[in-house]
Amino acid sequence: MLNFVLGSLFLTLGCGSWFGVQLGMIVLFMLFLLCCKHDFYMSLLSYGFGSDWLSYVLILLSFWIMLLVLMSSQAILDKNNFNKVFVMTCCFLNFFLVMTFASTDLLLFYISFEASLIPTLILILGWGYQPERIGAGIYMLFYTLTASLPLLVSLMVLYNCGGSLTMGLVYEAMNSSFIYKIWYLASVFAFIVKLPMFMFHLWLPKAHVEAPVAGSMILAGVLLKLGGYGLLRIVPLFSNVNSKLCWVWVSISLVGGVLVSLMCLRQIDIKALIAYSSVAHMGMVLCGATIFNWWGVNGAVVVMVGHGLCSSGLFFMINMVYERLSSRSLLISKGLLNIMPTMAMWWFLLCAGNMAAPPTLNLLGEVQLIISIMNWSFINIVGIGLLSFFSATYTLYLFSISQHGKFYNGVFSCCSGKVREYLILMLHWLPLNLMFMVGSMMLIVF
């Protein structure tokens, strides 16, 4: 495992060659793909690192998305907008992400969890466009930082009680008295905000909208999954309290998911629409992860991977529109079918992924989550039904309002896409649609 972690760290040295770093990402991805040995609890054990089925999938996702991020930020290379610094920032972010997912020690996990915020902040503030990105960066930084301070305290208490923070050997708090409830809330709050859950989601639309394409893709693709991953690691330590308190998270996520889906229908900025849809998807993931039954946990992981690919693809498509039209507003960038018909096909395929149409991974995950959530309580039918319905509504709205209609300018010719763009879209879409055939790979193997 250390070879992959150090490999991703030393990839920063190759920042002079954009192509070299992309190649390095692919190589690391392929090599890591070969290490699929999760028939025991942890494999690839090393100094503080290891990987089990959950981290395996997410490390693969982070290498993949980072590769796509580098390919899609070609505009920074073309305009020579500090491209070396950019590659370095992305590689550092990748390093911290891999370290987060690969760490077997909860404190190392926490440190790299926090450390991944800094390159993200630099990406947003350094390469973002609008003046609102200052507020966006501050919101993201302080929401996540404030929420994770109680987690640090809780880790210290866990260490004090149990003597170790290595995953698998951590003290499991079995009681469910009041103080244990506070302890549980302190531990879980950081991931609730990171996921994000409905009432603490304000940082997400701001950060996603104001970030450059690289920032948006990596935020939607991997950084939100940090919350899910942390939740799946911490919740088993507090299983008693969790089974008593998970109704809070389930109710807020379901109701909040429906509300956020309705807000999607009101957006004028395309990126804000996708950002709010991320909140809705992650709400479902949160439900599954806190209910913590078998279907729920698996559904959460599958939706995390599927959403990572799908949202990242949609953000990339919006960036393609932005690179051509210099505007994200739906009032100007509508009627795209007239000027980019081939891209309309890709818009459709990725939108179909977003609304969990077959044969995408999102469908597999959503079905698993529906089973899990309904199994827990029958009343959830209302919530999860409305959530699924509205997710189709806003996705269709997004597709229709961006593609159909007239374009303001009467140029009788079409923009074709560039081959690089088709490659990136294919690399988003192919895993999303083929991996459901190997869906069993993502289930917990006991």
Partner 1 sequence: MIGRTSVRILSRCVKLLTTGKQHVISQKVRSFSCTPSVWDDERNKQTGKDASEYREHYENPFLKTLGVMKDDVKGFLKNIKNMGQEEEDATPAKIFSEHCDVLIIGGGAIGSSIAYHLKERALGGLHIVVIEKDPTYSKCSTTLSVGGVRQQFSIGENVQLSLFGAEFLRNVPKLLAVEGADPPNIDFNPNGYLTLATEAGMDQLYENHYLQKELGAKVDLLSRRQLEERFPWMQFEDIAGGVIGRENEGWFDPWSFLHCLKRKAVDLGVEYITGKVVGFNTRKMDDLVIEDHESTIVKNVDTAKVRLENGDEREIKCSIAILASGAWSGEIGKLIGIGIGPGLLSTPIPVEHRKRYVYCFRTEQGPQLDCPLVINPNGTYFRREGVGGLYFCGRSPTEEQEPKVGDMEVDHDFFMEHVWPILAERTPSFEALKVQSAWAGHYDYNTFDQNGIIGIHPAISNLFIATGFSGHGIQQAAGVGRAVMERILHSEYMTVDLSRFGFERIIMNQPLFEKNIV
Q: Which residues make up the interface to partner 1 (CB under 8 A)? A: 13, 78-82, 84-86, 88-89, 121-122, 125-127, 129-131, 134, 137-138, 268-269, 324-327, 329-332, 335, 405-416
Q: Which is nearer to partner 1, 93 or 284 (CB)?
A: 93
Instruction: In angstroms, give the least distance from the CB of 227 to partner 1.
Output: 24
Q: Which is nearer to partner 1, 186 or 325 (CB)?
A: 325
> What is the chain's length?
446
The first and second tokens of residue 293, run together, are 């039954």
Instruction: In angstroms, give the least distance from the CB of 129 to partner 1.
Output: 5
Instruction: In angstroms, give the least distance from the CB of 137 to partner 1.
Output: 8
| Position 18, amino acid | W
d(CA 317, CA 353): 14
Instruction: In angstroms, give the least distance from the CB of 81 to partner 1.
Output: 8
Q: Which is nearer to partner 1, 258 or 424 (CB)?
A: 424
Q: Which is nearer to partner 1, 44 or 321 (CB)?
A: 321
d(CA 173, CA 27): 42
Instruction: In angstroms, give the least distance from the CB of 127 to partner 1.
Output: 6
Q: Which is nearer to partner 1, 81 or 251 (CB)?
A: 81
Q: Which is nearer to partner 1, 94 or 372 (CB)?
A: 94
* CA distances (Å), origin 187, targets 56, 145, 191, 202, 242: 23, 13, 8, 21, 11
Instruction: In angstroms, give the least distance from the CB of 15 to partner 1.
Output: 8
**Residue 115 φ then ψ, to 5°:** -65, -30
Q: Which is nearer to partner 1, 185 or 202 (CB)?
A: 202
Cα–Cα–Cα angle for 194, 197, 203, rounded to 5 degrees: 55
Instruction: In angstroms, give the least distance from the CB of 425 to partner 1.
Output: 16
Q: Which is nearer to partner 1, 29 or 397 (CB)?
A: 397
Instruction: In angstroms, give the least distance from the CB of 13 to partner 1.
Output: 8
Instruction: In angstroms, give the least distance from the CB of 238 to partner 1.
Output: 36
**Axis crossing angle, helix 294-325 with helix 361-376, rounded to the nearest 10:** 140
**Residue 419 φ then ψ, to 5°:** -60, -35
d(CA 135, CA 139): 6
Instruction: In angstroms, give the least distance from the CB of 130 to partner 1.
Output: 6
Q: Which is nearer to partner 1, 88 or 370 (CB)?
A: 88
Q: Which is nearer to partner 1, 248 or 331 (CB)?
A: 331
